[in-house]
Each structure stands twice: as structure tokens, then as C-alpha cells.
Chains A and B, each alone.
Chain A
């Protein structure tokens, strides 16, 4: 049963600490998305990659957030330094093909910054 795997599922950290969230897309999928979900803002697109190259990260605060795909099986989202306002659920999703007609979501990483 192919699915997107995110780790960790939950993370509590102190303000100022670095946080790294990981995502393993479905094998064969060449597009990876990062979304952030909060009560106030709903689902926001942070960044997405096609064939490991970043296509758009305009939704991401550049000063503290960074997203990478070291290889086709791993995507990372880092926050350094973390702030309480970063508390949210971060979702990774993957899709395939040049025409993206469906995004498969992971279960998310619930981040709490205290």
C-alpha cells in the first residue's frame, strides 16, 4: 500500500531550536509539496518540487525556512530558528507526471514551538 511517510508525527521544541521534518514521497512520484495547516490560515502551500528541483517556494518565509530534496526518496523542511508562530501541522504530499491531477498526502507532522 503506497503512501507518503512523514517523520516525526509530533514534535515539541523550544523557541530558537532547529526543527527538521522529513518526508518520503510515494515511489515513482516526481512532484513533492509542503503545506502548513493552522486554524487561522487553513492550508497554505509552502513549496513544491518537480524532479527534485524547487519550482516555487514563494509561500515560505525565506529567512528561517528551507526545503530540500537530497534525493528522490527524501524531502526535508527545516526551520531555523523556530518560533511559536510556526506551531502548525505540516503536510507533505506527492504526485506524478507533468500534469498533476492528484496529490497524495502524508499524515503530517504536528509541530509545537514553546
Chain B
């Protein structure tokens, strides 16, 4: 079955600095990839997804991610973060043939400091 590893459990950054949240996946078949954000006491909200086509995916709130098949990675980036970006970020993967079985990483807590 597919799995996801988020390499950093916590990432502290200063406001207006760039940030990269790392995600690596494992699967023997083709996959769909997702990034979700969770604000305190809220459910998860989709930031962006890679289904096919261009490997650079742009999402909401200025985030983007790049699918790298050779490195099995899907890192999330933002060139300049805001205080309001402080949240938990989850990378997720599902196999194309069984795409209802979506597996999530352990999450990365992004803390943006003033």
C-alpha cells in the first residue's frame, strides 16, 4: 500500500520568509498527491492536488508544490509566508486505481513568527 513521509514535524519561520515543507511518498503504482491544511479546531482543507499534467501545481493562499517522480517527492512551497499561514499541513497520497484509499502523512506544524 502507499505511504507518505513528512520529513519535518515542525517548521518555524519568520514572517515574509520563504518556506518549504517536505513530503516523500512510496507506492508501486501511479498516484495522486495532495496537500491539506488544518487550522486549530478545524477539519482539513485542500490546498492543492496533483492528478496529472504539469508537475508544478499552484494552490490557494499562494502555495505551490512540485511533483518529482524520480525522487518520489511532492514538496510544498511558499515564497513569503504570513502569520495566518500558521497551521498543520498534511501531505496525502492515493493510488490511481484505488483512489478512495487516501493515506496521510504525520503532518508538519508550520509556525510563522512576527
Listed in ascending order, the chain A residues whose CB lies under 8 Å from chain B are: 4, 31, 33, 35, 42-43, 45, 48, 50, 55-56, 91, 93, 95, 99-108
Inter-chain contact B51/A103, CB cutoff 8 Å: no
Interface residues of B in 75-114 (CB under 8 A from A): 90, 94, 99-107
Bound together, the chains give a CA A45 to CA B102 distance in angstroms of 8
Q: What residues of chain B lie closer than 8 Å to A105, measured between beta carbons?
A: 36, 43-45
Neighbouring B residues of A102 by C-beta, 8 Å? 34, 46, 49
Residue of A nearest to B43 (CB): A105
Taking Cβ atoms with an 8 Å cutoff, the residues of B that contact A are 32, 34, 36, 41-46, 49, 51, 90, 94, 99-107
Instruction: Given contacts A101-B51, A107-B43, list 4 more A-B pairs with CB under 8 A.
Output: A91-B43, A99-B99, A105-B43, A108-B43
* A6 CB, nearest partner CB in chain B, Å: 8
* Cα of A20 to Cα of B105 in the assembled complex, Å: 27
Would you give the shortest CB distance from B110 to chain A, in whole angstroms?
Answer: 16
Interface SS of chain A: helix, strand, loop or mixed?
Answer: strand
Partner of A45, one of B32, B44, B49, B101: B101
A106 to B102, CA, bound (A): 16
Q: What is the chain B residue whose CB lies nearest that of A35?
A: B104
Do residues B100 and A106 form an inter-chain contact, with CB atoms below 8 A? no
Q: Which residue of B lies closest to A103 (CB)?
A: B102
Chain B: minimal CB distance from A104 (Å): 8
* Of the residues A33, A42, A106, A107, contact of B107 by C-beta under 8 Å: A42
A56 to B101, CA, bound (A): 9
Q: Please, which residue of chain B has its CB at the minimum distance from the CB of A91? A: B43
Which residues of chain A have C-beta atoms less than 8 A from B36's C-beta?
A: 105
* A48 (CB) vs chain B CBs: closest residue: B100
Most-contacted residue by chain A among B32, B44, B103 (CB, 10 A)? B44
CB neighbours (8 Å) of B34 from chain A are: 102
